[in-house]
Structure 1
């Protein structure tokens, strides 16, 4: 297995954020990727540098206005005399599109869904190169590799067509899947992050070529709050191409593995030429996301299930914030996949 990553992820330092009215330090720290890199190095996997595929593949998923905002927001914020980082102070919830003549404060309120997704000086660089790690990983799969792992930071699955949120900015798995599918191929995405992949669902809601499924903690009182219910099955043009498996608070291995198995079987019925996995390790009982009570053994089991399929596999890193166990759970997952040593 080849692993694609970029050192530019270190440019992104979110600092303090606000969630549910409480200030805390962001969990998305560079040390997350350090732990995952130790895991793949211990498995003697080949590490490949990300390569620049340009902005065009990003624009097939995200609006031009949103990409422009991410690329310029920090400098415009600083030029306006505003302090620290770009953090929304107001939220626009009714307009279908932003206006070019809005201030950066207004644009932040339109494009950012919460206050745990700040934009600082290095955010665009890190987010851009996270996507540029997912793209060559997809290219490797298209060129014949059976399993590839894209170590992306920041994560991406909460980012929709014209918004970011949940500490994500560009939807790495959606960008890679869209590029891979082109105009004809069928692909499937399985999201096993503890949070619902609302951005990925948003992007492919009416695209019947891309099957999206997500196993996650119920959004009742949990991020992203608005989406991830079982009755969300796809838009008018793609009914049945979305499958959600929400779980009760504190659900453990049996329900998690059952949900993944359901998503995997449904994805295979879609007859995809490749399966993309939004790989989050934050369902662990020890993770500060505090959503489920999953153990490392469940991730090993899921790895074993993925290792048994014939369809090519692309892993795209999402969450996972317990620095004390992140390396070991990644090693257990890779062991289940059949490639760790």
Structure 2
């Protein structure tokens, strides 16, 4: 399997964040990708560098105002004489209230939904290249790869059309899904991160061509708090296009695997041409999110279940914060995922792959600008 990665994610250093009234270090540290890289190298996967697909695929998901905010927020914050990173002090979420002449303080309170999603000097570059990582892996699928893995950091599934949150800025899975829809038509997204993918749900709420299924810890006293109930099934233009499977805290292995199977049944009923997996490892029992208490062997089982589907599948990395056990759980999932696929046959293939000769892992030199 080809894995897409870029070291440009290291430009994003969140530092301390505030959650539920408590200041704590951000869990989204660069070392997460180091652990995942060790996992994919240990399994012999090919790691290649992300290509730049520009901002057009980003603009197919996110608003022009939001993209401009992300690209300029830190610079404008500094010009205003404000210290540190961009962190909202007040919040305004009514769309009709937005004003393009707002200060960066006001815009941060409109576009950022919490105080665990700061914007620093390198955040835009890292988020931009996380989206390009997902797009490069999606392009591999378009060219005939049956499986590809986008190692994205920052994650993306909490980012909506015009907002970021939950330590996410651009919705990498949604950007890849819309990019794939041009060639495959119907797309399904299954989100196995411990948190509900509220941003992905909002983006595709009224899109009949994209089905979204999410298994997660119940939003009662758990991020993102407002979304993820079974009652949320899609808008008038896409009834039953959303499937949420919320589980109680520390639900454990059996409930998690059964919930995955429920999600997969919904995915297959949609009859997609391609599947995108928002791949989170933060349901692991030792993860600091303390969400669902799932064991490493169950992640291998889930990998087998997903990998056995006879469709092209794109993995897009979301959460996973236990630096001690992250490599091991990723190895278990990927081993199950790839072993299941090797026993299946997918008729959708192409003869060539122009990506195979690219060199991997080039360091970040200069921040990318808006294109």
1:6 and 1:268 mapped to 2: Cα distance? 32
Instruction: State the distance in 1 between where 2:98 and 2:156 align.
Output: 22
- Equivalent residue number for residue 76 of structure 1: 76
Structure 2 Cα separation of the partners of residues 250 and 2 of structure 1 = 33
Paired residues of 2:184 and 2:274 also in contact (CA < 8 A): no
- Cα deviation for residue 95 of structure 1 reads 3.7
| TM-score, normalised with respect to structure 1 | 0.98
Alignment of 1:37-52 (within 5 A): 37-52=37-52
Residues 155 and 172, structure 1, Cα contact 8 Å, conserved in 2: yes
Q: CA deviation at 1:269?
A: 1.1
Shift of 1:97: 5.5
Matches within 5 A, 1:1-341: 1-96=1-96, 98-182=98-182, 185-339=185-339
Alignment TM-score, normalising by the size of structure 2: 0.90
Q: Distance in 1 between matches of 2:9 and 2:72?
A: 18
SS at match of 1:9: helix
Uncovered stretches (5+) of structure 1, i.e. residues with no partner: none
Between stretches 69-78 and 89-98, larger displacement belongs to: 89-98
- Give SS of 1:96's match: helix
- Secondary structure at the counterpart of residue 246 of structure 2: strand
Please list the CA deviations of residues 270-292 of structure 1 after superposition, one character each: whole Å capped at 9, or x if unmatched: 11111100000000110001111
1:309-329: CA deviations, max 9, x gaps?
111110000000000000000
Aligned pair count reads: 340
| Deviation of the 1:297 alpha carbon | 1.0
- Taking the aligned partners of 2:117 and 2:65, their CA distance within structure 1 comes to 18
**2:304–2:339: 8 Å Cα contact kept in structure 1?**
no
Deviation at 1:233, TM superposition (A): 0.2
Counterpart-to-counterpart distance in 2, 1:202 and 1:192: 17
Which deviations, in whole Å up to 9, do the C-alpha atoms of 1:19-67 show, x marking residues without a partner? 0000000000000000000000001100010000000100000000000
Q: CA deviation at 1:94?
A: 2.6
C-alpha distance in structure 2 between counterparts of 1:45 and 1:183, whole Å: 26
Q: d(CA) in 1 for partners of 2:138 and 2:157? A: 16
Question: Which consecutive segments of 4 or more residues in structure 1 shift more than 4 A?
Answer: none
- d(CA) in 1 for partners of 2:184, 2:276: 16
CA contact (8 A) 1:299 1:329 kept: yes
Give how far 1:338 is off. Answer: 3.2
Paired with 2:125 and 2:95, the residues of 1 have a C-alpha distance of 28
What SS does the corresponding residue of 2:178 show, helix, strand or coil? helix
> In the aligned structure 2, how far is the partner of 1:4 from the partner of 1:98?
37
Structure 1 distance, partners of 2:56, 2:142, is 18
- For 1:166 and 1:237, locate their aligned partners in 2 and report how far apart those are by CA, in whole Å: 28
**Using the alignment, how far apart are the partners of 2:267 and 2:230 within structure 1?**
16
Give CA-to-partner distance per residue, 1:207-250, whole Å, 9 cap, x none. 01000000000001100000000010000000111000000011
Give 1:5 deviation, angstroms: 1.0
Distance 2:183 2:300 in 1: 35
Instruction: Answer whether contact 2:74 2:121 (CA < 8 A) is retained.
Output: yes
Question: How far apart, CA to CA, are the structure 2 residues paired with 1:28 and 1:307?
Answer: 27
C-alpha contact 1:43 1:339 (8 A) present in aligned 2:
no
Structure 2: unaligned runs, 5 residues or longer: 341-371
